[in-house]
Every structure is written in C-alpha cells, then in structure tokens.
C-alpha cells in the first residue's frame, strides 16, 4: 500500500445497546480504492462520517496527511436552500474560487500600476495563475456543468430545494467529484442512479478520479470493478480483505472456516479438561492450577458470531398460467408519452427486470399495472387468482412513530407465518432484529434497517405476483442475497425495477428496457444478456440506416484478372445456398421458441442454453453469407 493519506487507531463508538466500533484500526493509502461492506446497522455510515470528521468519537484518534482534502457524500445531503444546482457544485471549489478571485483582483490593480508596484503585481498574478493550474485549470465552471449533465441533471439552474431526494444526491455527488479531493468517502453512491449513470460513474472513478476512495456500497459490480481492498464491519470489528467483491467472498469464507475450526478445538479442549477435573482429586492441588487456568481462559472466550439473514419465504397462492396480459398499452404523464403500444404477457414463474434512465417512466408503468393510475390507451388484465404484493421506493407503508414490531404486526406478539403461529420476535430475528431492538421507533433506524422492516411486513402477505420498485436501495449484501434466493426458489412471478446489475443478472429471466420515445423492448435473459443483445440490435440498426452523404467513388488500381474458383471451392459454392437455408431455419426456430412465454414457465432451466444456441445460429448464418459473397466475388467472369 502507498503512504497512507488517512490513519485511524483504536476507534471506539457506542450507541445504546452495544459498540458499533470496538477498537477499529484503519489506514487508507494515497490513490487506494477501498470498499466497505457490512450488514445494515453495523455502523458503516457512522464509520464513514467519523473518518470524514462529521461524527464525534468516543475514543481513538484519526490522522489525515497535512494539506490533504477529504470530502464526504452523505445518503441524505444537506444543501444550501435557495442555491441552484450549479452554485452548489461550484461551492465545492473554495480554494480554486479564491485563487480566481485573487487573479482578477490583481489584474484590476495592474491597470493603474507602474514601475516596482507593477512588477510586484505581475509576480502576484503569476502565483495566482500557478495556483489555479494546480487546482485543475481555468475552466472548472464548464467542468461543473458537464458533471451535472453526466449525472442526469440537465437543468443546472434548478433550485435545489425544489429537487427530489435522488436529484439532490446527484447534485452533491457532482460537487464532490468536481472538487476532486485527495480522499473521497462515498456512502451508497449508486442509490437513486439509473444503470447508465452508474456505469458512467464506475468508469469515472476507475479512470478519472485522481485521489483515494472509500466506497460504502452494496453494488457488487462496482466493488468488483473498482476496489483493490474490501473492508467488512461486523460486530464492531473491521476485517480487511485484499481485492474486490469476489476476493472478499473467498477471503471471508476462509476466515469463517478457520474460526469454526478454532471453536471446535476449543470445545474439544473444554470437554477434555472438564472430564479431567471431575475424575481427578489432584485437580485441586497447586500444581494443577495452571491447567485449570487454561481451561477457564478457554471457557471465557466467545464463540464466533455467525450473523446472517435467515432464508426468506413467501406464502404463494395458486394461480393460473397467465399472470398478466398487457395489450397496446400507452402511458402518459403530464402530457408526455412514456410508454407507447406495449404488448407483454407474463406467465407463471417469470421474473422481469425493468431498466431505464431516471424519470423515463418505470414507476409510472408499475402504477398503471397495479391499477393506481389509468393508461392513456390499451388494456391491462390480471390473471385468475393473482394476488399482488408491492414494495415501493418510498417504503410508504411504514410509520416513523411506531416501533419495528408495531409496523410489522401491530400489537400482536403472535403472528401467522405460512400457516403456522410464530412469535413476532422469532420472525423479526430472521431479518437481523434482536428482541431488544424491535421496540425501536422506525425514525431511529438506518435506511437499510427500514428496508428490512418493509420486507418483513411484505412477506407476511400471501402473494403470487411480486412488484418491486428499487428493492435493493439501502439493503445490505446479506439481505440482498437472501432476497435473490427467495425469488429464484419461489413459484411466484416478479416485476422488478432495479439499478442493481448483479441482482438483475442473478434473478431476471427477461429484461424490459425503456429505450426512449415511448419504446419499451423485451430482451431474454439477465443483465449481461441484455447488454449483449441490445448492443447487437443497435449495431444492426446502424448498419441498416442509409449513409447521410453519398460515398465518394474510390479510384481502383489496375488489377490482374481473377483466377476463378478452385474445384473444391466450386463444390462448396454449389452447396452454399442449402447450408444458408438450413442455418436460417434453425435460427428462426430458436427465435420462435424464445418468443413463446410458455417456454419460460415450462422449460425455464433450458432458457440460458437456448439463448446461447440462438446466438450461435445467427452467427452461423452471418458466417455462411460472408463466405458465399467471398466465393461469388472470386468466380471468373463469363
């Protein structure tokens, strides 16, 4: 690791029922990219705020390299009311603005100066100019505007107090990125961003950000792509693993296996010593004191804590094969057409991921499908016996003034869970809420803890059509994994709006992509399949478009007459059309199979292999056509 830009020693912080930080040590090197993961409520955001100097410590010390700048992206930024988005972003350039102001002041003074005074002012101006160059150059205002546009905010003069929570976060993110600090601490930077913007941010942080990074995030693609070290905060202890997400998983598995081996050895030792103490009268003599002391020390050690979310379960109800039928659907909001002529049939067991830019109409489509808003045209028909469970972005079914228990079960201490009676404490323990915490009011919880409460409440209701609007916002990785497993194992159908690429790649059987101008296109497979197929479709469209200007005729050099085809090539050409017909027939057969919704319900395990075969079939058609053209061009004239 390079020389540390920040060093923390023996950090301690407690809240109510126990320590969040219990002697944490940490160093972040210059230009190092570090990820921070952990369960909701483990203290990740608290640690991030402490390192940024925004939260007091109970004990410990933090040292930041002299002259180094540290900036923090909050999950809930506080922005200066009345300012525009551009003003907020430029406000992060304090030293640069001071240098620009000094340069302009000196330039004004030079108008009336002469002799030695002018020479001194010229030196002052040169120093101010050098400082401006050191701080990023002369065009930082244009950079601020470009950053806002890259993050999806086109109205740079919009007042921040009129922006949504997600838009305010993007303004604050633009402020931080333009400020280009020596250490950027980003708390869930991908929340409320669409996939296109997340991928832009990923590229920017990888290639353009010059300083160190501490990323508090559940975005597993980003952790894998950017981070060279991953930290995990668990039960007040900070564990460090070299590498990104996959290396972290491997390293943690090894650590837990080692802890289990040590615990097994401790238990065996205790059984042996206890047996000896019971059988041996000499155990009470002085010479046995050391042995007794070793046993007492082993007894005093805590067993490793294996804190994890219990497998989530959904009580599904019987349903027909067709779950949702959409015909000619159009969706308008404020006179703007968001969806145009959408036809879609959902069959039992399908899991549809919904992608698109922020504000393009994803949530509006869900509201129409749920009957909360009227379509501009077309028809939506729910299948027989369909029961819907809806998980909205705002977690609107929760009450901040009520406790966790009251939000989930009211005053009941016993609840019905999938046909059997269960204690509310045991049920909430599945979501990592211990008996002491279920009396906390919701207003005291982190965003991730609130999301877990909403999930606990949702899964009590029998349903066979799950509709999720950004379910991964604020959820920790452990809960995300449990949710993914539930969706993969349930017979229910799911519609999921999400920006989490890893999540969509694991659970989606199809992607419904908003492509602009009201066009919503379905792609078979998960997120990576969508990327491949949409890029191929884009290239095909580009190839089919006529050129904007006629190409200039090329001057050809005189060439020798073509030699014609060999005997082998003539035989190959004779059979080429039959080969092309066969390849096209196979490609068409696979296309038709993948267009049939019943295929996903009846033969879901074959989908991935069929997509691969379909792509190979189209590739074979293209290869044969190119070979046919090549052979035709070699035929001797006449």
| Residue ranges, CATH 3.40.50.300, the chain | 1-69+181-243, 322-538
User: Which of 348-357, 473-482, 524-533 bottoms out in mean pLDDT, i.e. has the lowest?
Assistant: 473-482
Local confidence band at 542 (pLDDT 50, 70, 90 cut-offs) = confident
User: Which of 3-7, 125-129, 281-285 bottoms out in mean pLDDT, i.e. has the lowest?
Assistant: 281-285
Question: What's the CATH fold of domain 567-635?
Answer: Helix Hairpins (1.10.287)
- Whether 502 shows a pLDDT value over 50: the answer reads yes
Say what the pLDDT of residue 58 is: 94
Contacts 24+ apart (CB under 8 A), 226-231: 226/33, 226/35, 226/202, 227/33, 227/34, 227/35, 228/32, 228/33, 228/34, 229/32, 229/33, 229/34, 229/35, 230/34, 230/35, 230/36, 230/37, 231/26, 231/34, 231/35, 231/36, 231/37
Region 307-324: mean pLDDT is 73
User: Which of 218-222, 341-345, 378-382, 575-579 bottoms out in mean pLDDT, i.e. has the lowest?
Assistant: 575-579
Q: In what order do the strands lie in the sheet with 493-497?
A: 388-391, 465-469, 493-497, 351-355, 510-514, 520-524
User: Which of 40-49, 87-96, 149-158 bottoms out in mean pLDDT, i.e. has the lowest?
Assistant: 87-96
Here the tokens at position 10 are 């023996």
Say what the pLDDT of residue 359 is: 85
Say what the pLDDT of residue 546 is: 66
Radius of gyration, alpha carbons of the chain: 31
Region 525-538: mean pLDDT is 90
User: Which of 11-15, 90-94, 515-519, 617-621 bottoms out in mean pLDDT, i.e. has the lowest?
Assistant: 617-621
Say what the pLDDT of residue 556 is: 43
Region 87-108: mean pLDDT is 87
Region 60-85: mean pLDDT is 92
- Whether 210 shows a pLDDT value over 80: the answer reads yes
Local confidence band at 595 (pLDDT 50, 70, 90 cut-offs) = low
User: What CA–CA distance (Å, rounded) separates 433 from 421?
Assistant: 19
Residue where the block lists tokens 């804190």: 307
Residue where the block lists tokens 């015909």: 327
Angle at alpha carbon of residue 11, lines to 9 and 14, rounded to 5°: 170
Region 438-465: mean pLDDT is 88
Say what the pLDDT of residue 4 is: 92
| Residue ranges, CATH 1.10.287.380, the chain | 567-635
Share of the chain above pLDDT 90, in %: 44
Closest CA to 168 of 183, 181, 158, 178: 158
Answer for the pair 351, 508: CB distance below 8 angstroms, yes or no.
Answer: yes
Closest CA to 382 of 315, 324, 428: 324
Say what the pLDDT of residue 561 is: 43
DSSP letters, 148-175, are: HHHTT---TTSBGGGS-HHHHHHHHHHH
Instruction: Give the C-alpha distances (Å, rounded to integers) separating 35 from 210, 218, 220, 387, 433.
Output: 17, 9, 10, 40, 25
Residue where the block lists tokens 């991928």: 199
Angle at alpha carbon of residue 235, lines to 229 and 238, rounded to 5°: 25
Region 232-242: mean pLDDT is 94
Say what the pLDDT of residue 420 is: 84
Report residue 166: phi and psi, to 5°. Answer: -65, -40
Closest CA to 451 of 460, 439, 442: 442
Region 566-588: mean pLDDT is 77
Local confidence band at 562 (pLDDT 50, 70, 90 cut-offs) = very low
- The three-state secondary structure class of 24 is strand
Region 274-299: mean pLDDT is 59
Say what the pLDDT of residue 304 is: 56
Q: Does CATH place domain 1-69+181-243 in 3.10.180.10?
A: no
HSE-up (13 A, CA, CB side) for residue 289: 3
Region 465-490: mean pLDDT is 87
User: Which of 139-143, 196-200, 408-412, 435-439 bottoms out in mean pLDDT, i.e. has the lowest?
Assistant: 139-143
Region 312-324: mean pLDDT is 78
Say what the pLDDT of residue 396 is: 82
Task: List, in sequence order, every residue forming a beta bridge with 96; answer none if it has no partner.
Answer: none
Say what the pLDDT of residue 307 is: 56
Closest CA to 214 of 64, 28, 68, 49: 28
Query: Could you tell me the maximum CA-CA distance found in the chain, to the nearest angstrom?
Result: 114
Local confidence band at 118 (pLDDT 50, 70, 90 cut-offs) = confident
Q: Is the pTM higher than 0.85? A: no
User: Which of 194-203, 361-370, 570-579 bottoms out in mean pLDDT, i.e. has the lowest?
Assistant: 570-579
Here the tokens at position 102 are 């000094």
The helix, strand and coil proportions of the chain, stated in percent and rounded to the nearest 5, come to 45, 20, 35
CATH superfamily of 322-538: P-loop containing nucleotide triphosphate hydrolases (3.40.50.300)
Share of the chain above pLDDT 70, in %: 86
């Amino acid at each position: 690791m390079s020389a540390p830009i920040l060093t923390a020693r023996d950090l301690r912080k407690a809240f109510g029922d126990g320590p969040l930080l219990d002697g944490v040590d940490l160093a972040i090197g210059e230009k190092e990219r570090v990820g921070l993961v952990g369960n909701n409520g483990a203290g990740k955001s608290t640690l991030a705020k402490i390192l940024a100097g925004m939260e007091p410590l109970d004990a410990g010390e933090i040292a930041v390299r002299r002259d180094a700048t540290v900036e923090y992206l909050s999950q809930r930024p506080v922005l200066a009311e009345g300012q525009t988005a551009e003003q907020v972003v430029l406000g992060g350039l304090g030293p640069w603005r001071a240098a620009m102001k000094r340069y302009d002041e000196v330039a004004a003074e030079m108008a009336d100066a002469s002799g030695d005074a002018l020479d001194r002012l010229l030196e002052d101006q040169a120093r101010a100019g050098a400082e401006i160059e050191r701080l990023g150059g002369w065009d930082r205002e244009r950079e601020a505007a470009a950053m806002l546009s890259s993050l999806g905010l086109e109205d740079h003069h919009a007042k921040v107090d009129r922006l949504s929570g997600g838009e305010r976060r993007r303004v604050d993110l633009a402020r931080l990125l333009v400020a280009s600090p020596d250490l950027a601490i980003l708390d869930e930077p991908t929340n409320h961003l669409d996939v296109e913007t997340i991928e832009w941010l990923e590229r920017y942080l990888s290639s353009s950000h010059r300083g160190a990074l501490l990323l508090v995030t559940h975005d597993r693609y980003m952790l894998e792509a950017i981070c060279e070290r991953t930290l995990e905060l668990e039960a007040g202890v900070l564990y460090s693993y070299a590498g990104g997400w996959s290396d972290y998983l491997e390293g943690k598995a090894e650590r837990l296996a080692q802890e289990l081996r040590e615990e097994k050895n401790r238990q065996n030792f205790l059984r042996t010593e206890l047996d000896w103490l019971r059988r041996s009268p000499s155990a009470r003599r002085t010479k046995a004191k050391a042995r007794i002391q070793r046993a007492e020390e082993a007894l005093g050690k805590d067993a490793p804590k294996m804190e994890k979310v219990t497998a989530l379960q959904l009580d599904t109800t019987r349903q027909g094969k067709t779950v949702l039928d959409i015909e000619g659907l159009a969706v308008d909001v404020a006179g703007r057409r968001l969806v145009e002529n959408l036809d879609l049939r959902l069959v039992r067991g399908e899991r549809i991921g919904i992608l698109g830019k922020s504000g393009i109409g994803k949530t509006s489509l869900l509201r129409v499908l749920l009957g909360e808003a009227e379509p501009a045209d077309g028809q939506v028909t729910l299948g027989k016996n369909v029961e819907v469970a809806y998980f909205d972005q705002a977690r609107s079914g929760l009450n901040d003034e009520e406790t966790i228990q009251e939000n989930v079960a009211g005053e009941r201490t016993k609840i019905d869970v999938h046909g059997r009676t269960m204690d509310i404490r045991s049920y909430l323990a599945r979501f990592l809420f211990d008996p002491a915490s279920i009396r906390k009011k919701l207003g005291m919880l982190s965003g991730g803890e609130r999301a877990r409460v909403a999930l606990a409440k949702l899964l009590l209701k029998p349903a066979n059509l799950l509709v999720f609007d950004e379910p991964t916002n604020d959820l920790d990785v452990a809960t995300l994994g449990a949710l993914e497993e539930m969706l993969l194992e349930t017979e229910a159908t799911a519609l999921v709006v999400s920006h989490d690429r890893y999540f969509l790649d694991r659970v989606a059987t199809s992607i419904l992509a908003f492509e602009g101008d009201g066009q919503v296109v379905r792609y078979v497979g998960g997120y990576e399949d969508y990327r491949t197929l949409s890029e191929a479709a884009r290239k095909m469209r580009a190839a089919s478009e006529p050129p904007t200007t006629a190409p200039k005729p090329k001057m050809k050099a005189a060439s020798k007459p073509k030699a014609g085809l060999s005997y082998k090539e003539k035989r190959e050409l004779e059979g080429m059309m039959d080969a092309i017909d066969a390849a096209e027939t196979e490609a068409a057969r696979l296309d038709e199979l993948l267009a049939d919704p019943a295929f996903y319900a009846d033969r879901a395990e074959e989908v991935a292999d069929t997509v691969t075969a379909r792509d190979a079939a189209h590739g074979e058609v293209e290869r044969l056509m190119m070979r046919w053209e090549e052979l035709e061009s070699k035929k001797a004239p006449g």
